[in-house]
Amino acid sequence: MRITVIEHEADAGLGFLAGWLSEAGAVCEVVRPYLGEAVPERITGGLIVLGGEAAAWEDERCPWLPATRDLIRVCVERGVPTLGICLGAQLMALACGGAVGRGEHGLEVGVTEVVPLPAAGTDRLFAGLGPSLAVQYHRDAITELPPGAVPLATGDPYPNQAYRLGENAWAVQFHPEATPEIFVDWTAGSAETLTGLGHSVEELNTRVKESRNDLVGAWRPLAERFAGVVIAVQTA
């Protein structure tokens, strides 16, 4: 059971997902286009597109983004199990007819509450999820969902926290993969900016560390269920 992973930068890897997916039987093949590796035109198995600092439309900054959007669109159309995370969720929105822009409320960072919507109750990944803590780190936002998208979770101040396209494609604005260690790396790299925006880096880091068990409890099942979808599609 093979999952292709598009990683946009070295400090935004699979994190928690690496262990959860491996234990569920998945073999992840990580493609690193920032190191010159080519984004495939077609894949089998499953696809995960991770987060990154770039905006979903910054093709000059990250020349592989058009190929990534094309791959996402093809996977959605073909029913390949797909999961977009943060930037990956925004790329899916653009690839499939939605809209993404600078978030009008500015940077969302740290631990926030994500609230499931009614459609989550019968969704294969989100069923049974209650209001849950999630790690956030984004300044852009999905302002319009793609046609046919099913909203699955919301939050404050950015409502489009999770959605599904078709039967086998999901997108989450938050970071289910982010371990406390990864989050500390992110805040260390932008400490001056965060402080300038009025955030306490120490408080942000402490809150994520204290929430570790809640984060694992909420999002490990999502990863395991996504692995199950990949298995089901491959063996159908």
Q: How many CA atoms are closer than 13 Å to the CA of 115, on its beta-carbon side?
A: 8
Question: What DSSP string describes 28-64?
Answer: EEEE-GGGTPPPPS--SSEEEE---SS-TT-TTTSTT
Is residue 167 annotated as part of the catalytic site, yes or no? no
Which SS3 state, helix, strand or coil, does residue 91 take?
Answer: helix
- In the chain, the amino acid numbered 72 is I
Is residue 75 annotated as part of the catalytic site, yes or no? no
CA nearest 64: which of 91, 87, 34, 30? Answer: 34
CA nearest 226: which of 161, 154, 156, 177? Answer: 177
Is residue 138 annotated as part of the catalytic site, yes or no? no
Catalytic residue among 86, 96, 108, 138: 86
**Dihedral sign for Cα atoms in the order 235, 120, 207, 103:** positive
Catalytic residue among 7, 62, 96, 175: 175
Indicate which residues carry an active-site annotation: 86, 175, 177
